[in-house]
A and B are shown apart, each in its own frame.
Chain A
Amino acid sequence: MATLAEPQAGSALDDFRAEVRSFLEANFPPSLKGKGNALASVEGPTRETPEMTAWRKAMGERGWGTPTWPKEYGGGGLSKAEARVLADEMARVGAWNPIGGMGVMMFGPTLLEYGSEEQKREHIPGITMGEVRWCQGYSEPNAGSDLANLQTFAADAGDHYVVNGQKTWTSGGQWADKCFCLVRTDKSDKHKGISFLLIDMTAPGVEVKPIKMISGMSPFCETFFTDVKVPKENLVGQEGQGWTIGKRLLQHERTNLSGGGSRLQMSGPSLADLAKKFVGEEDGKIADRDLRARIAKWEMDWRAFQLTAMRVMAESKAAGGVSEVSSILKTIGTKLGQERSELIIEIEGLQGLGWEGEGYSQEELNNVRAWLFGKATTIYGGSTEVQNNIIAKRILGMLDHQ
């Protein structure tokens, strides 16, 4: 049963709500209403209009783009209840959070947990202001699902490291200012030889090559490091602690990729409306009864998934942070996203398979790209197979393969 808030807390929240309302009135331009978080997209920096810049700065300076992060590093310092009020009030006027990206979703929470005081002061404010773009240097050509096999080597050179090696699938690498990177500092131990290093993407010796995908887009890069000098103060945690820190970050990533966060929110017309338009209806029912039943199944699975995401997040918060259960959200959220894309493609027929040119709406073309790009969701961030290994071994206690 829900506990009623104490009267005092209630009135304090009311004051806060009034503060949020006047802030939004003063700073959120109605012309940006419902535009979504265009500024945090990993598909490239959108051209920021002056209005968008002003909105980003206003939210950044208030710390409300990262509402629950500590105030001393540029966060909002809000309680969960206040953050909910902020989200509610923003939704009410169609405002969106202009601060996002990998810095907010993955790197920031991890640095707040493992970083030194100096590192937090140096790196967190750039994230809370939405001014510094981060990318992830994890995967390598021979270290995908077997991530701990990574070979990029950081040689100790006294006051700095010298980094050599290659990363791949660096999302948004061509637009990033900095990279949080897993590197090998010791070749004698697969897991304990890994360290967590922050690398400036503009440093000499860093080279980025975008990879063209089946969707026609190039959101991922190959990243090459040739004798890149990285100061030692950019090591997060201890040397050799990288695997522990890196895994923690992956839990944040999974939680965000699962759709429990905001990135995979299903937008656009409902499957049912789309089916009525393309397949037609009889007596108010989608004419293709098999398709109708499968849409109903998808809709129910999606609701059950959303309920699970809310439940798991409430439970993880109570237990003090993200957990291995994030693996469940990742596998199911990404599977449902792909199933929805496949249903859309099926519903629209050949009209839904257009690549370019006349005769297709922008939405139809977007759906095609989203369908193709979406195939990556069950591969990146730890494939479905790897998540199932995690569930089996860490949650269910099934033993390692001998």
Chain B
Amino acid sequence: MAVLSEEQTMLRDMARDWTSNESPVNAWRKVRDADDGAGFDASVYGEMAQMGWSGIVVPEAYGGSDFGWLSLGLVIEELGKTVTASPLAASALAASAIALGGSDEQKQKWLPGIASGEIVATLAVDEGPRHDPDAIKASVSGGKLSGAKAFVAEGDSAGLFVVAAADGLYLVAGDAAGVSRSRRHLTDFRSHAEVSFDSADADKLAGGGDDLLGKVLDRARVLAAAEMLGMAGQAFETTLAYLKQRVQFGQVLATFQALQHRMANLYSDIELMRSAVEAGLAAIDSGGDTRQAAILAKVKANEVGHLMSREMVQLHGGIGMTDEYDAGFYLKRMRVLEAMWGNTAALRDRFATLNGY
């Protein structure tokens, strides 16, 4: 664990208490069973907003606390542990795009609502099943945006889209004429929607430099990695507890060296994952070049999260295969996050290119 300030420790502890008391995995199970398309419980997101979480990366002048990415990452990690569903990450990413690239008027118009949790906002970037920010075709002409975005997270309930077009990022209100959405039901049961824009009113984010989209995607990668860190850590703890109580061949499974060594390797892997994720969050807070730190965070999260979620099912044996048990939630959500914002192969390629080979 990175060295935290007193305020960050308090925030982390508050998030930990809240998730374990108010939002255990069973809470997600109820949302999953309700299957209403929004993919989260609006009253629960209201509670998060009350605690100030939706404004953590929003500047104070616009209703947030500007408490930084490491702080937001701590909360997202805790939510990941209990697979708590919320549009917190998506809204924070949209807010960061506006904070980085928006005019004062745009910030004034949208950020306070995002910070208070009244508006769910989200990024709409990819146009196909694989993350590919170099292949964006959506375009804007005369202030009207046209194009289609695939698998937009929280796309079913978003009141604001930050849309990547060929020449930059644009704000499109969720209720604007020409916006239509259809649900894409994925294995994680969270909200993903295909969103079409047919000459919808679009307002450009003109600031933030040439690579505004790149900066926002780095933040997206690191936040996804933070959620995966929470999930992997919890998957590990749950599996360890299971091995310590499950008896086979007259012995507790935890006494078998073959299983001890697998767990020791997973534990070590998760330590590396944690270092990479915390370094990614710290890199954003420090305001420098975030590209490589973000790739490192997401790639380690992809690799270790992938392995840990598989091992969780395997080491639980038959019970891990049942819907009644929680292991499946971690496996199914992990793969969605793994595919979002760059899979391992794509990010390795990008890392090599950034390093000149």
Contacts and interface: CB of A to CB of B under 8 A. Distances in A.
Interface of A: 1, 272-273, 275-276, 281, 284-286, 292-293, 295-297, 299-301, 303-305, 307-308, 310-312, 314-315, 318, 325, 328, 331-332, 385, 387-389, 391-393, 395-402
A299 B260 contact: no
Q: Contact size class for B?
A: 35 or more
Contacts of B5: 1
Interface in B243-262: 243-244, 251-252, 254-257, 259-261
A399 B357 contact: no
B286 to A, nearest CB: 10
B79 interface: no
A396 B265 CA distance: 11
B304 to A, nearest CB: 9
B267 A286 contact: no
12 contacts: A296-B349, A304-B275, A307-B276, A307-B278, A308-B272, A311-B2, A314-B3, A318-B3, A328-B271, A331-B268, A385-B261, A388-B265
Contact of B267 (A272, A315, A328, A389): A328
A315 B1 CA distance: 8
B351 interface: yes
Most buried by A among B255, B275, B296: B275
Given A296-B351, A300-B276, 11 more contacts: A284-B357, A292-B352, A296-B355, A307-B276, A318-B3, A388-B264, A389-B261, A396-B240, A396-B267, A398-B243, A400-B255
Contacts of B1: 315
A398 B255 contact: yes
B337 interface: no
For the complex, would chain A's binding face be called helix, strand, loop or mixed by DSSP majority? helix
B279 interface: yes
B356 interface: yes
B232 interface: no
A399 B300 contact: no
Interface of B: 1-3, 5, 68, 240, 243-244, 251-252, 254-257, 259-261, 263-265, 267-268, 271-276, 278-279, 295-296, 299-300, 345, 348-349, 351-353, 355-357
B263 A272 contact: no
Contacts of A389: 257, 260-261, 264
Given A296-B348, A400-B255, A301 B272 contact: yes
A308 B271 contact: yes
A389 B257 CA distance: 8
For the complex, would chain B's binding face be called helix, strand, loop or mixed by DSSP majority? helix
Contacts of B68: 1
A398 B254 contact: yes
Contacts, number: 120
Given A303-B296, A311-B275, A314-B3, A275 B261 contact: no
A305 B272 CA distance: 6
Contacts of B259: 398
Contacts of A393: 260
Most buried by B among A281, A328, A387, A397: A328
Contacts of A325: 271
A84 to B, nearest CB: 16
Given A300-B296, A311-B278, A328-B268, A398 B260 contact: yes
Contacts of B275: 304, 307-308, 310-311
Contacts of A397: 244
Most buried by A among B5, B349, B352: B352
A396 B263 contact: yes
Most buried by B among A300, A312, A315, A387: A300
Contacts of A312: 271
B347 to A, nearest CB: 9
A31 to B, nearest CB: 33
Given A332-B268, A392-B260, A304 B240 contact: no
Contact of B272 (A299, A332, A388, A396): A332
